[in-house]
Amino acid sequence: MPFHTYVQQHRDHFLQELSELLRFPSVSTDPAHAESVHRCAEWLAEHLSTLSPTSVELFPTPGHPVVYATWAGPPGTPTVLIYGHYDVQPPDPLDLWESRPFEPVIRNGRIYARGATDNKGQFFAHIKAIETVLHTHGQLPLTVKFLIEGEEEIGSLHLRPFIEQHRDLLACDAVLISDTAMYQDDLPTLCYGLRGLCYLEVTVRTAATDLHSGVFGGVVDNPIFVLSHILSRLRDGYGRVTIPGFYDHVLDPTPEERQRLAELPFDAEELRRHLGAPELFGEVGYSVLERRWLRPTLDINGIVGGFTGSGAKTVLPATASAKLSMRLVPNQRADDIAAKAEAAIRALAPPTAVVDVRALHGANPVLVPLDTPPMQAAARALEQTFGRPPVFVREGGSIPVVEWFTELLRVPTVLMGFGLETEGAHAPNEHFHVKNFLRAILASATFLHEYAHAAMQQ
Amino acid sequence: MPFHTYVQQHRDHFLQELSELLRFPSVSTDPAHAESVHRCAEWLAEHLSTLSPTSVELFPTPGHPVVYATWAGPPGTPTVLIYGHYDVQPPDPLDLWESRPFEPVIRNGRIYARGATDNKGQFFAHIKAIETVLHTHGQLPLTVKFLIEGEEEIGSLHLRPFIEQHRDLLACDAVLISDTAMYQDDLPTLCYGLRGLCYLEVTVRTAATDLHSGVFGGVVDNPIFVLSHILSRLRDGYGRVTIPGFYDHVLDPTPEERQRLAELPFDAEELRRHLGAPELFGEVGYSVLERRWLRPTLDINGIVGGFTGSGAKTVLPATASAKLSMRLVPNQRADDIAAKAEAAIRALAPPTAVVDVRALHGANPVLVPLDTPPMQAAARALEQTFGRPPVFVREGGSIPVVEWFTELLRVPTVLMGFGLETEGAHAPNEHFHVKNFLRAILASATFLHEYAHAAMQQ
């Protein structure tokens, strides 16, 4: 039976199973959801064990558990390690969701839920691809190892030591990850670069306790003023980050890459309208795509201080804090940038305030080569599934694990994503297109065969 | 029986009654507490009716009710209108309170509860003064009118129209208010000036919805950056407000007033230590007391945007907002400053953001003359109660009603406060010294007699 027949026959059942998976509020950053994260991992291990794996295991970590399963392929065939993450972003602001974030519903050919596209829908497609190959061909054409972690949204805190401790278990010839986006709907995409991340929290204190703004306004400094002062001076009028040394190791894009990017279909006005932005904004001197993929940025992710309820309270607050993060590009390093950012923030702190800077997490940027056998097999699998060859892009987001696989396992990583940037990852009303869920299953099954076939021909 | 004997005999009972009053969470700004605000007003009306008033009434307003009572004095005696407010500030941040804000407790000679000093403890002392005079002398020596409103902490929204509509009912020869602070503990104080207030809310929007900061960082502007940019540019490096025209109508202090302030006991280092501030901060060129009382200020009272939970969320938020307020001095006008502030904020808003400015409330600053009969009677009452003459000060806070009494009733206002600035008004662990509660009762009873006596001698 061809893959697509099996997938069509089991479409509804696959979606029911995905809905079960999406019902777990596996929010890794929130201690209140730790139990749900754990139950999600257990559900996955049980689900994988129904697909007759060689082994399946739940590895505890100091944080959330790692789900691992493997299927041994015929002797002499290569090994592919498929990675995904079952943890999700917090769903807030809840009031902007049109349906509840952990009660998946299908509307207009899309399945809505937190985690639908990032990343449950995408890695679950690979599990269904394994099922499809097993049920249509009786066995897998190569060895598959499946690693699903529960801490991606909080910087994959315990995965690097896990990989270091389990190099033999994870040994492979290629890594396959679907946690990136297609460049456009119906345009198959392979991603060869990711930005890194450096995430900090800054806290400002100007007094021991909140004060009456009438009585003490004009006597002690205001922590929100101090924080605004610091934050607003981390960026200049040209959209550049002003942290000293921030751009020291940034690789300039080559003329070839700029040309390749310029040839991709792109409509800035359509993007602006879609995002609902009065004007697009970014670093002067670079195109929108260059700003997203090739240039580092600094964003403030959250801020809070003083009275934030409804109405007016005439308080002079004692503290204010902000979370900020920088997206990094080759060859910036997260730890170097964290140190430079902290120094810059401390240099901006006035003597009227106690300023505390804490690094929350980091990831280095990555670039992967285009000419490896697994990348070429992925390109063929996408062409067979979509009827057109893929485009090659970079992405603005970060997947720290890609750098670790590269460094610790010394194999190429294929970033074959099926999400769309318009699907609300990290935002309200996250969803995943059902047609792309089904395509992902087909492309993954095809990839396993293409890669095994190419390896045998070598 | 002398006043002080009655007060000493009824000390514990007075404190029990005050505790009952403090138990109402009469937070006027929070719609969730509307019922408690109303019940507090009813409790007061019932309590006043036990003191055989000529009349007692609860006046509904479009917001919270006004409590009113009157006692007719002998013919030919003057009339004093005593004002207070039974609403309180929100108690948050709750986790900084050592005991629950609406469960009053007495520790170390202080009664702890939200509203203890601002303003329930202070106006309740006048009620107990009326009781003391009635029980020791059988009748009041002049006509007393008592007005207690429920919206002072939200700008006395409906009190101005109430005064306008009830000019005859409220007609009087002097207004007496205890909602200011003593300059120091044991130092009786009369206040002759208050700063005004102009309170605004600013909201910034840069996109229709929250976005993934990796995918869209570098493409649209960040609302927290925009808000920080705007806020940090409202003040210059000398602590001055940069809103164009802000200082146009500010009266410079006279050499005499600067001299009088300089002679008040003051220790800046002790204040700094008490507030827990690394350094004091304010407008260059003015002393700390001048900055508090004679100079206008701008403070940011609250800010919120993006992810504010624990941990890290890589969100590019769509909106951020801040509450800010300016303390005004003669002859600034709240509506003029609101218009100038809004224009300045709009001028700072970039085309990448939609910026909304909303005026929440305002009050004009006031100065009252020192040489009126009620002010002199108050000075004598304080001297008899404390054993030393009072100091004359201004205050940094705002009491909008003082301006309205001045304008609409055309009588002088006596600001005879018994709170201390260290008692946590608008902050956690608000309290009122029991000794000052008792002194306030004595001073108020003595004032009624001194003022009636002086009027009869004229």
DSSP secondary structure, A263-288, as one string: HS---HHHHHHHHT-SSB---TTS-H
Nearest to B218 among A233, A295, A313 (CB): A295
**pLDDT of B249-301, one tens digit each?**
999 988 988 998 999 999 999 999 999 999 999 999 999 999 999 999 999 99
Does one domain contain both B190 and B237?
no
Taking residues A211-225, report their average pLDDT.
92
Asked if residue A263 belongs to a domain, the reply is: no
**pLDDT of A26-84, one tens digit each?**
999 999 999 999 999 999 999 999 999 999 999 999 999 999 999 999 999 999 999 99
**DSSP H or E stretch at residue A240:** none
The alpha-carbon gap from A131 to the nearest alpha carbon of chain B, in Å, equals: 32
Asked if residue A264 belongs to a domain, the reply is: no
What are phi and psi for residue A253, nearest 5 degrees? Answer: -65, 145
Inform me whether the C-beta atom of residue B356 falls under 8 Å from chain A C-beta atoms. no
Taking residues B367-380, report their average pLDDT.
93
**Of A62-71, A271-280, B417-426, the least confident:** B417-426
What band does A399 get if pLDDT is binned at 50, 70 and 90?
confident
Contact A199 B424 (CB under 8 A): no
Asked if residue A327 belongs to a domain, the reply is: yes
Q: What is the pLDDT of residue B400?
A: 81
Q: Report helix, strand or coil for A356.
A: strand
Does one domain contain both B200 and B175?
no
Does one domain contain both A46 and A161?
yes
Please say which residue of B363, B392, B409 terminates a domain.
B363
Q: Report helix, strand or coil for A175.
A: strand
Return all residues near B168 (Cβ < 8 A) that are at least 6 apart: none
Could you check whether the bond before residue B108 is cis, i.e. omega within 30 degrees of 0?
Answer: no
Does one domain contain both B358 and B369?
no
Inform me whether the C-beta atom of residue A327 falls under 8 Å from chain B C-beta atoms. yes
pLDDT greater than 80 at residue A314: yes
Among A381, A452, A448, A456, CA closest to A146: A448
Give the span between the Cα atoms of A65 and A157, in whole angstroms: 11
DSSP A443: H
Asked if residue B270 belongs to a domain, the reply is: no
**pLDDT of A132-162, one tens digit each?**
999 999 999 999 999 999 999 988 889 999 9
Does one domain contain both A371 and A420?
yes
Complex prediction ipTM: 0.79
Q: What is the pLDDT of residue B458?
A: 67
Query: Is the full-model pTM beyond 0.90?
Result: no
Does one domain contain both B387 and B343?
no
Contact B228 A225 (CB under 8 A): no
In terms of CA atoms, which chain A residue is nearest residue B322? Answer: A308
Residues in chain A with CB shorter than 8 Å from the CB of B30 are: 309-311
Does one domain contain both A322 and A401?
no
**Of A109-123, A430-444, B67-81, B209-223, the least confident:** B209-223
Does one domain contain both A166 and A249?
no
CB pairs under 8 A between A and B: 368
Asked if residue B210 belongs to a domain, the reply is: yes
pLDDT greater than 90 at residue B314: no
Cα angle B432, B435, B440 (rounded to 5 degrees) comes to: 80
Asked if residue A116 belongs to a domain, the reply is: yes
Residues in chain A with CB shorter than 8 Å from the CB of B227 are: 228, 303
Does one domain contain both A351 and A212?
yes
Q: What is the pLDDT of residue A458?
A: 67
Rg of chain B, C-alpha, whole Å: 23
Asked if residue A277 belongs to a domain, the reply is: no
Contact B300 A306 (CB under 8 A): yes
Which conformational region is residue A155 in: left (phi greater than 0), alpha (psi within -120 to 50 degrees), or beta? left
Nearest to A352 among B215, B231, B278 (CB): B278
For an interface test with B, give the residue of A27, A226, A232 to mutate (most B CBs within 10 A): A232
Q: Which residues 388-407 of A have a C-beta within 8 angstroms of B?
A: 395-398
CA distances for B216 relative to A252, A282, B257, angstroms:
20, 10, 57
Q: What is the pLDDT of residue B214?
A: 86
Please say which residue of B317, B339, B363 terminates a domain.
B363
Among B456, B385, B408, CA closest to B175: B408
Please say which residue of A339, A361, A383 terminates a domain.
A361
Q: What is the pLDDT of residue A293?
A: 93
Does one domain contain both A357 and A338?
yes
CATH number of the structural domain spanning residue A89: 3.40.630.10
Does one domain contain both B226 and B91?
no
Q: Which residues 111-130 of B have a C-beta within 8 angstroms of A?
A: none
Domain count, chain B: 2
**Of A23-32, B41-50, B391-400, the least confident:** B391-400
Return all residues near B129 (Cβ < 8 A) that are at least 6 apart: B440, B441, B442, B443, B444, B445, B448
Does one domain contain both A27 and A145?
yes
Domain housing A214: 196-258+293-361
Q: What is the pLDDT of residue B189?
A: 96
Asked if residue A440 belongs to a domain, the reply is: yes
Taking residues B405-417, report their average pLDDT.
94
Residues in chain B with CB shorter than 8 Å from the CB of A395 are: 214-215
